[in-house]
A = this chain, B = another copy of it.
């Protein structure tokens, strides 16, 4: 069955952290969480599915934005509590702010500076 899932140390809420890295650029796009079902679905379908802690349900990345993530390689860390996904990011936008990556703020002289451009207006992405 899915014996590989038994190697993963889900936390006391049944979640494991997942780092999504852009397979082409190497940029870290986002960090989210997966439960067992989300991870299994991700591997079976080849599309990233997370577990939304705020909504307490499966979150098929891109279900609203269209910015789905096709998953290449899946890695696990040495203590089995973080997975690393190589991602092909549809639309080139992973962040709900319309930026390529969620990590768009850089610490410069004691301040967080948003250094990456908004590629698409979130209102256009989410149709609000």
Q: For residue A76, which residue of chain B has the nearest CB? A: B105
- Closest CB-CB distance, A19 to chain B, in whole Å? 6
Chain B residues with Cβ below 8 Å from A26 are 26
Q: A119 at interface (Cβ–Cβ under 8 A)?
A: no
A73 within 8 A of B: yes
Using A76-B112, A95-B78 as known contacts, say yes or no to A107 and B4 having CB atoms under 8 A apart.
yes
Chain B nearest CB from A117 CB (Å) reads 14
List, sorted by A's number, 6 A–B pairs whose CB atoms are closer than 8 Å: A19-B28, A28-B84, A73-B107, A74-B106, A75-B106, A77-B103
What 10 A-B pairs are tightest by C-beta distance, nearest first? A26-B26, A75-B103, A77-B102, A74-B107, A78-B102, A31-B82, A76-B105, A84-B103, A77-B103, A75-B106
